[in-house]
Amino acid sequence: MKKSLLIQGGKIIDPSQGIEAIGNLLISEGKVSWRGKGEETPPHADYDTLNAKGLVVCPGIIDLHCHLRQPGDEEKETIASGTSAAARGGFTTICCMPNTNPPLDNQTAVEFIKSKSASEGVVRVLPIGCISKGRKGKELAEMGELASAGVIAFSDDGEPVLSSYLMRQALDYSHAFDLPIIDHCEDKTLTEGGQMNEGVISTRLGLRGIPNAAEEIMVARDLALAQLTGGRLHIAHVSTEGSVELIRRAKEKGIKVTAEVTPHHLTLTEEKILGYDTNAKVNPPLRTKRDIKALIQGLKDNTIDIIATDHAPHTEADKLCEFDLAPFGISGFETALGSLMSLVHGGELSLVTLINKLTHEPAKIIGNRYGSLGTLVTGAPADVTILDPNLEWVVEPKAFASKGRNTPLTGERFRGRVMATIYQGKLVYKDDSIKVKES
């Protein structure tokens, strides 16, 4: 089983090294061990070969924001099912949010995640710790303990940090550990009872709206606090044009902020909710074409650093109810790349930029404590994603590995699909058409 694997003839795209060329990549003992151009073959001949002709080979993509539901809501997802789904989606590293039950606000909880991931996980799971004790938004969690336990960031996601005072303390205190504070930006006094974006469609459907301003107010507040404290701020799931503008200006001023956007906010508008499809109900909500345009521009000019799925699985029964009563969330691992490729095929985003936003940029935010992620430099962990940028396929939630089938994309035709995922040198997902030839 310890044989090397040569990925041959694919187009290697590694933004961390500025590489975009047909080549061959050798993986040995869980690490990238050699890379060659064109017809070059590795020095010693004992390896299996994976024919990647016509395919794109890039560093294993990274998801900085997902919900694995374990412990507490295992009927929605477990680490086992979630990581399988992630692997099918091409992800080799995923960062799970701490809004579990019990929440990840102490060392024991984090240890649980780590050990479960080690024994049942199919890809790398990195935990995010709570900002506040119990996610109650009142007192700081023991960030020091969480940091030594191995969290890569702090967040109360699901909820915003409502108290500006607490947010300030969090940004200040986390400074010592050089870990970012991820905020879910939402002014809850404006969004209470809100179901979807506030606008023409919400008026038509008779649903209470969630206005853009609710997000922008918290983004502005957090940016001011980041400036005040010099702490590392990361804005989760940016969804509005106004938020993008605020972050852009903050970066110009040198404020230490990074930001993420989800595949659904880049490709779907509020019109998906016509007909009351609860699978399109997500927070922050799907917005308008105008917002999408600004988000794509934000990606291109680096106002938005990364793409993260905010994978939020729910059971079928959870979503099979009145719109008002359905929980927010879209199951995103297995449709992420397919939907993002529509932006590439539509000429709005280059493939290199897309891969950058899924590999090198998130790796920068995570840092080095788990090794060199998001890169195919020799010696880095052998996390590789192999995709066919042109293969057409239809989204069929029944085929998902995730327990969450809640996607508004059922029946959607995509062009571009993950064909294989390699985690630490092991093939953790492979489409049937991919053949590995023994040496």
| 325 makes contact with another protein (CB under 8 A) | yes
The window from 164-172, 235-243, 323-331, 388-396 that contacts another protein (CB under 8 A) reads 323-331
Query: By C-beta, is 186 or 318 nearer to another protein?
Result: 318
Q: Contact with another protein (CB under 8 A): which of 322, 347, 398, 432? A: 322
- Residue of 207, 200, 96, 107 lying closest to 157 (CA atoms): 96
Rounded to whole angstroms, the Cα distance separating 209 from 111 reads 40
β-bridge mates for residue 210, sequence order = 197
Q: Does 399 bind another protein (CB under 8 A)?
A: no
Binding flag, residue 276, another protein (CB under 8 A) = yes
322 vs 432, beta carbon nearer another protein: 322
Sign of CA dihedral 380, 382, 383, 388: positive
User: Of 228 and 320, which has the nearer Cβ to another protein?
Assistant: 320
Give backbone dihedrals phi and psi of 197, rounded to 5 degrees, phi first.
-55, 140
Query: Considering the complex, what minimum distance in angstroms separates the CB of residue 396 from another protein?
Result: 19
Count the site residues for another protein by CB under 8 A: 21
* Strand-pair category, 31-37 with 426-430: unpaired
Interaction of residue 205 with another protein, rule CB under 8 A:
yes
CB of 267 to another protein, least distance (A): 20
**Which residues are within 8 A (CB) of 245 and not within 5 positions of it... i.e. 6 or more apart?**
294
Quick one: which of 170, 207, 373, 422 contacts another protein (CB under 8 A)?
Answer: 207
Q: How far apart are CA 125 and CA 61, in angstroms?
A: 13
- Interface residues for another protein in 68-107 (CB under 8 A)? none
Per DSSP, what are the bridge partners of residue 184?
A: none
- Starting at the edge strand that comes first in sequence, how are the strands of the sheet with 181-183 ordered? 154-155, 181-183, 233-235, 257-261, 306-307
CB 205 within 8 A of CB 274: yes
Q: Please identify, using beta-carbon distances, which residue of 66 and 201 lies nearer to another protein.
A: 201
Q: How far is the CB of 320 from another protein (least distance, A)?
A: 5
Nearest distance from residue 291's CB to another protein, in Å? 13
**Six-digit token string for 122:** 């199919």
The answer to the question of residue 206 lying near another protein (CB under 8 A) is: yes
CB of 206 to another protein, least distance (A): 3
The interface with another protein within residues 302-321 (CB under 8 A) comprises 317, 320-321
Among 301, 324, 392, 396, binds another protein (CB under 8 A): 324
Cα 3 to Cα 414: distance, rounded to the nearest angstrom? 35
User: Does the annotation count 431 as an active-site position?
Assistant: no
**Segment near another protein (CB under 8 A); pick from 6-14, 109-117, 270-278, 404-412:** 270-278
The footprint of another protein on residues 174-203 (CB under 8 A) is 198-203
**Which of residues 252 and 322 has its CB atom nearest to another protein in the complex?**
322
410 SS3 class: coil
Q: Burial, 175: exposed, middle or buried (Cβ in 10 Å; 0-12, 13-18, 19+)?
A: middle
CB of 399 to another protein, least distance (A): 22
CB-wise, 37 or 290, nearer to another protein? Answer: 290
Question: Of residues 310, 318, 383, 388, which has the active-site annotation?
Answer: 310
**Contact between 204 and another protein per CB under 8 A:** yes
Q: Find, among 75, 68, 47, the residue nearest to 122 by Cα.
A: 68
Check residue 1 for interaction with another protein (CB under 8 A). Answer: no
Q: How far is the CB of 323 from another protein (least distance, A)?
A: 4
Return left, alpha or beta for 8; rule: phi > 0 is left, psi -120 to 50 is alpha, else beta.
beta
Both structure tokens of 238: 């940016």
112 binds another protein (CB under 8 A): no
Q: Which is nearer to another protein, 325 or 399 (CB)?
A: 325
In the bound state with another protein, the residue whose beta carbon lies nearer, of 323 and 393, is: 323
User: Of 126, 119, 30, whose CA–CA distance to 80 is shortest?
Assistant: 119
| Strand 47-51 relative to strand 4-14, pairing | parallel
Q: Phi first, then psi: give them for residue 153, nearest 5 degrees.
A: -175, 175
Cα Rg for the chain, rounded, in angstroms?
21
209 versus 329: smaller Cβ distance to another protein: 209
Q: Provide the minimum distance between the beta carbon of 282 and another protein in the complex, in angstroms, as a whole number.
A: 16
Select from 275, 368, 435, 438 the one that contacts another protein (CB under 8 A).
Answer: 275
Question: CB of 326: closest distance to another protein in angstroms?
Answer: 10
Residue 28 region by backbone torsions, left for phi larger than 0, else alpha for psi between -120 and 50, else beta = beta
Task: Identify the DSSP state of 311.
Answer: B
Catalytic residue numbers read 310
Residue ranges binding another protein (CB under 8 A) = 198-207, 209, 275-276, 278, 317, 320-325
